[in-house]
């Protein structure tokens, strides 16, 4: 993996407000003519949220909703069936609006470490606390993603499928900051090599296809993700500090694409497109990178999912990403 891929200039992160699959697909495909995405609609309820949707993809592992959250069970229940049904609806809608499409399309799923931190075992303990359970979960996820990606390719035969793994809990897993069920303690930090190995294995579900890893948490481990095989890293640009300069520069020089979240994920006044990318240009100058490389190396997105935004703002935010990307390409200096 780690082959150099080129990506569209702008796309969404994943979630959108509301519960209408066709409206969401219309927004996700109409806003990004050259890099649409499969929308997620968590407002529909458990099974449409990012954890539930991915739990519904697992092979030979099933999860159900308990008062404490999602818990592994013995057989597929109504929560699994609901998650799969909603995913099917969303794929139907995406297929409808991408007839004959031959560009890139992005689909999202939760990565192995955020999923392990969110799922409980039958005894109520976190999957994260059990090495064997973590290994089984990663294996089940990898196989589920392989089948899901096959289905997407069957429905969109001309498209190049990009897989995004959502890992907002990854930094907390590495630092030992994920809280136990009681809330009084934290789980031990997981060895970085184990984290990297599991990510690499799950990314392998996409074969030679490009994988993006997304986190809108601070201190995204760019170097680890690059070593694991991520073709791109998606992050909230506002959380970067000058401490991140070295790892960002190394990532860009190694060919890793940056999916920079520059548009607020919740309702907020939107600046002019050039203003939205001013920080990206400043970072480029600080790193001493060639301005002409900007459009090749950066894809613009909202800072995180848009599930908490109003429908009107969500549409504006997606359109703003496209205009900001155009500004970046037209005026890289």
Mean pLDDT of 15-22: 97
pLDDT tens digits, 222-278: 999 999 999 999 999 999 988 889 999 999 999 999 999 999 999 999 988 888 999
The CA distance from 52 to 75, in Å, is: 15
The CA distance from 37 to 109, in Å, is: 12
Give, as one character, the DSSP assignment of residue 256.
P
pLDDT of residue 89: 97
pLDDT of residue 292: 85
Residue percentage of the chain with pLDDT more than 90 = 83
CB atoms within 10 A of CB 176: 11
Q: Domains of the chain by range and CATH?
A: 21-330 (3.20.20.210)
Q: What mean pLDDT is reported for the chain?
A: 94
The CA distance from 254 to 48, in Å, is: 36
Contact 299, 252 (CB under 8 A): no
Mean pLDDT of 8-36: 96
Contact 77, 70 (CB under 8 A): no
pLDDT level of residue 332 (50, 70, 90 thresholds):
low
pLDDT tens digits, 120-148: 999 889 999 999 999 999 999 999 999 99
Contact 165, 109 (CB under 8 A): yes
Distance from chain centroid for Cα 255: 19
């Amino acid at each position: 993996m780690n082959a150099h891929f080129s990506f569209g200039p702008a796309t969404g992160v994943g979630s959108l407000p509301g519960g209408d699959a066709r409206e969401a697909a219309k927004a996700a495909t109409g806003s990004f003519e050259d890099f649409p995405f499969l929308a997620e609609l968590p407002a529909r309820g458990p099974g449409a949220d990012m954890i539930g949707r991915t739990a519904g993809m697992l092979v030979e592992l099933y999860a159900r909703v308990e008062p404490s959250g999602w818990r592994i069970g013995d057989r597929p229940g109504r929560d699994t069936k609901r998650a799969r049904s909603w995913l099917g609806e969303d794929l139907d809608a995406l297929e409808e609006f991408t007839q004959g499409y031959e560009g890139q399309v992005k689909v999202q799923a939760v990565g192995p470490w955020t999923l392990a931190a969110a799922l409980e075992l039958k005894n109520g303990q976190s999957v994260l606390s059990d090495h064997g359970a973590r290994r089984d979960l990663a294996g089940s996820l990898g196989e589920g993603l392989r089948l899901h990606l096959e289905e997407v390719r069957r429905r969109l035969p001309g498209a190049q499928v990009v897989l995004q793994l959502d890992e907002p809990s990854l930094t907390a897993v590495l630092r030992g900051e994920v809280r136990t069920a009681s809330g009084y303690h934290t789980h031990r930090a997981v060895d970085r090599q184990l984290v990297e190995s599991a990510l690499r294995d799950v990314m392998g579900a996409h074969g030679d296809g490009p994988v993006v890893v997304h986190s809108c948490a601070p201190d995204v481990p760019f170097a680890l993700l690059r070593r694991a095989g991520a073709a791109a890293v998606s992050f909230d640009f506002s959380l970067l500090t000058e401490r991140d300069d070295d790892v960002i520069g190394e990532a860009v020089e190694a060919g890793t694409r940056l999916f920079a979240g520059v548009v607020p994920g919740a309702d907020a006044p939107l600046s002019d497109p050039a203003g939205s990318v001013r920080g990206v240009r400043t970072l480029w100058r600080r790193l001493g990178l060639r301005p002409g490389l900007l459009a090749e190396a950066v894809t613009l997105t909202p800072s995180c999912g848009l599930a908490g935004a109003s429908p009107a703002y969500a549409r504006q935010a997606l359109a703003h990403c496209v205009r900001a990307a155009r500004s970046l390409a037209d005026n890289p200096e």
